[in-house]
Amino acid sequence: MSELRNQVMWNRLISIVEEQALALVRAAFSTSVREAGDLSAGVYDVEGRMIAQAITGTPGHVNTMAAAVANFIEDIGPHRIYEGDAYITNDPWKGTGHLHDFTVVTPVFRRDRLIGYFGCTAHVVDVGGRGFGPDATEVYEEGLFVPIMKFVERGVVNVDLVNIVRHNVREANQVVGDLYSLAACNDTGLRRLEDMLDEFDLDDLTGLADFVFRRTAEATRERLRALPSGTYTNEMRVDGYNEAVTLAVTLTVTDDGAHADFAGTSPTCAHGVNVPLVYAHAYFSYAMLVALAPEMPSNFASLAAFTVSAPEGCILNARHPDPVAVRHVTGHFVTDLCLGAIAEALPHVIPAEGAGALWNFHVSARAADPASGLPPREILMFNSGGTGARPSLDGLNSTAFPSGVRTMSSEATEQVGPIVIWRKELRPDSGGAGRFRGGLGQIIELGPAEGYQFGFSCMFDRVENPARGRRGGGSGAPGRVYLDDGTPFDAKGKQLVPAGRRLILELPGGGGFGDPDQRDPEASERDRTQGYVG
């Protein structure tokens, strides 16, 4: 019966953190949280080990947050942890990889004894500095840096901190609102956990955490056996900010876990596409989980099996004060890099390479004629190219991978900002050929609304280096960026789209899998009749 009790409580914990995450989605201001699911929430034991994590969330947060709470315990100091506290940081190296993510951790007390923590992370609208983009050359330019500190002490909010934030960010009300939302969502978790401990008459989480970790560790080891012990390597070239970047991994697999070493990877770049190692770690862990144990819950024990190292100063191990604002542009490739290393060992599992990094962009719309008085507007959009073909399935058209985010409605975007999206549809012929075809990218055509021009912040990859096919499959089409009058446009950095012009983005397709000659004739016929292939 204790077995059943533990099973039920484990389920309940996962539901509690899901409630915690949904409370955040509902209350958040940040576009990326509410529209795109760029958040995470979890519950931790007294040592800061993650017991359960919400299903709602994206891999970049899921796995970085797992490590964050231990940093909080160390920096706050165990003797300064009181009931009614909440701690906060946006430290890219101790949190989730860039200043735009705030993490809030709340200690859980029961009968005056510390028994664990709730933590959650969300991407806020602004952190000051240059604004969201790759152009800074040091993290100091990227905005306000809040080291781990108390946001709330014994129920009293740190108004000095709130005041500092308020005076250092754009859209201060929304950002401050989100900080409060983070703390409130932990409180939701706290109340539910209390109910559960009452119901099951427990004093703390120790027994349950042991049960969860033991079960998960056993199952993770079991799953790892699918991958023969040994050393695996892979290299991938991506565009980088102004020169090509080589990503390299050496993967050492034993019965107890897998270790990724990123030696051989290019050095950091002068701009914000650098990645703190915690973030690379997150997308490595994600790769291993999708390949080996897709049903495994994310917790301390499943993630403990996957470790990383990298030479300091390589682009996957950026150091303070390297700029890291758009670390996802490089970081998202870590999953394909690591999957590629084990592709030969798991030939029926690993897909071809995909578009990888999202094609996010930020539009700063300004009046074409300053005298017109038209108000400025900021617009953020997430868009995805194609995913790599799978060993027995075509790739997914215009779908995010490894990121878990969603796109926004064009109509909703146009209601918020003075832009017109003239086209957003699939890009025929962009999927890599193969027995299974790569997913198609998409074409987006957009321009300023009447009376406006806009600054456009590009952070696009796979323009020079397309997604590679696997086992004889062809590469996906590379991305393209240009103005409708033929003016070239750089794939990275901020540029102007004048009034009356349209910007055209052709998003990359995924790589193909297997020999194109072996493609099922019916599938080829369908590609033609549906216009996926011209």
Partner 1 sequence: MTSGTMRIGADVGGTFTDVVLETGERMFSTKVLTTYDAPEDSVLDGVRTVVAEAGVNLSGLETFIHGTTLATNALIGRTGARTALVTTEGFRDTIEMRTESRFEQYDLNLVLPVPLVERRDRHTLGERVGADGRVLRPFDDDEARTLIERLADRPDGHRYQAVAVGFIHSYVNGDHERRFRDLLLERMPDLAVSISSEVSPQMREFERFNTVCANAYVQPLMASYLRNLEERLHAAGATCPVYLMHSGGGLVDVDTAARFPVRLVESGPAGGAIFAADIAARHGLDAVLSYDMGGTTAKICLVEDQTPRTAKTFEVARTHRFNKGSGMPISIPVIEMIEIGAGGGSIAGVDMLGQIRVGPLSAGSEPGPAAYGLGGTRPTVTDANLILGRLSVDSFGAPGIDLVKEAARTALADHVATPLEMDVETAAVGVTEVVDENMANAARVHAVENGKDVSRFTMIAFGGGAPLHAGRLCEKLRVDELLVPPGAGVGSAIGFLRAPFAYEALRSHYVAMDSFDHTVANLLLEDLADEASAFVRSALGGTGDLIPLLEVERCVFMRYAGQGWEIPVRLDNEHFDHLGGELLANRFEKAYEEFFGRAIDGLGVEAIGWSVRVATPRPAVDRIARVEPRRDVVGDRTRRIYDTVSGAVVDAAVLDRATLAVGDRVIGPAVIVEDQTTTWLTGADQAVLQADGCLLITRQDADPVDAESD
Nearer to partner 1, 323 or 479 (CB): 479
Binds partner 1 (CB under 8 A): choice among 39, 247, 296, 324 = 296
Among 93, 145, 151, 401, binds partner 1 (CB under 8 A): 401
Question: Is 406 a residue that touches partner 1 (CB under 8 A)?
Answer: yes
Q: What is the 3-state secondary structure (H, E, C) of 217-236?
A: HHHHHHHHCCCCCEEEEEEE
CB 334 within 8 Å of CB 327: no
Pick the closer one to partner 1 by CB: 91 or 527.
527
CA dist., res. 388 & res. 375, Å (int): 42
Q: Give the Cα separation of 495 and 230 in Å (integer).
A: 47
| Residues within window 1-40 making contact with partner 1, judged by CB under 8 A | 1, 3-4, 7-8, 10-12, 15, 18-19, 22-23, 25-29, 31, 34-35, 37
Pattern 348-387, binding to partner 1, x per CB under 8 A? -xxx------------------------------xxx---
Q: Smallest distance, Å, CB 110 to partner 1?
A: 18
- Bond before 134 cis per omega within 30 degrees: no
Cβ(512)–Cβ(524) below 8 Å: no
CA nearest to 317, candidates 245, 267, 375: 267
**Options 107-115, 141-149, 314-322, 419-427: segment touching partner 1 (CB under 8 A):** 419-427
Cα(405)–Cα(399) distance, integer angstroms: 9
Q: CA 226 from chain center: how many Å?
A: 27
Task: Tell me how far apart the alpha carbons of residues 129 and 168 are, in angstroms, rounded to a whole number.
Answer: 8
Q: Which of 405, 481, 497, 505 binds partner 1 (CB under 8 A)?
A: 405
Least gap, CB of 426 to partner 1 (angstroms): 4
Can residue 163 be called a binding residue for partner 1 (CB under 8 A)? no
Query: Please, which residue, 372 or 415, has the CB nearer to partner 1?
Result: 415
Of residues 474 through 533, those in contact with partner 1 by CB under 8 A are 529-532
Comparison of 53 and 268: residue with beta carbon closer to partner 1: 53
Applying CB under 8 A, among 274, 407, 457, 465 the residue interacting with partner 1 is 407
Count of residues interacting with partner 1 (CB under 8 A): 88
Q: Which of residues 43-72 bind partner 1 (CB under 8 A)?
A: 55, 58-59
Which residue in the set 153, 177, 246, 501 belongs to the binding site for partner 1 (CB under 8 A)? 177
Query: Hey, what are 35's tokens?
Result: 């529209």
291 lines the binding site for partner 1 (CB under 8 A): yes
Interface residues for partner 1 in 422-461 (CB under 8 A)?
422-426, 442, 445, 449
The residues pairing with 479 across neighbouring beta strands, listed in sequence order, are none
Site string for partner 1, 70-109 (x = CB under 8 A): ----------------------------------------
Q: What is the DSSP string of 239-303?
A: --SSS-EEEEEEEEE-SS-EEEE-TTPPBP-SSTT---HHHHHHHHHHHHHHHH-TTPPPSHHHH
Q: Residue 195 is inside which H or E element, if any?
A: helix 172-199
Q: Which residue has the tokens 């750089």?
A: 490
CB 79 to partner 1: min, Å: 32
Nearer to partner 1, 214 or 320 (CB): 214
DSSP secondary structure string, 41-64?
A: EEEEETTS-EEEE-SSS-HHHHHH
Name the minimum Å distance from CB 354 to partner 1: 11
* Residue reference for tokens 């933590």: 119
The least CB distance from residue 413 to partner 1, in Å, is 9
Residues in the chain: 534
Nearer to partner 1, 71 or 398 (CB): 398
Rounded Cα–Cα distance for residues 504 and 444 (Å): 6
Minimum distance from CB of 525 to partner 1 (Å)?
A: 12
Can you say whether the dihedral through the CA atoms of 9, 11, 12, 14 is positive or negative?
Answer: positive
Q: What b/e string do you get for 103-129 counting C-beta neighbours within 10 Å, with b at 16 or more? A: bbbbbbbbeeebbbbbbbbbbbbbbbb
CB atoms within 10 A of CB 337: 27
Which residues within the stretch 114-133 sit at the binding site for partner 1 (CB under 8 A)? 125
Sign of CA dihedral 156, 160, 166, 168: negative
Shortest distance, position 530 Cβ to partner 1, whole Å: 4
Contact status: 415 vs partner 1 (CB under 8 A): yes
Residue 420 binds partner 1 (CB under 8 A): yes
Question: Considering the rule CB under 8 A, would residue 285 count as an interface residue with partner 1?
Answer: no
Q: Does 271 bind partner 1 (CB under 8 A)?
A: no
State in Å, rounded, how far the first CA of the chain is from the last one.
62
DSSP 509: P
Q: Toward partner 1, which CB reaches closer, 245 or 459?
A: 459
Residue that has been written with the tokens 């055209």 in this structure? 504
Binding partner 1 (rule: CB under 8 A), the pick from 82, 109, 180, 482 is: 180
Q: Which of residues 222-261 bind partner 1 (CB under 8 A)?
A: 222-223
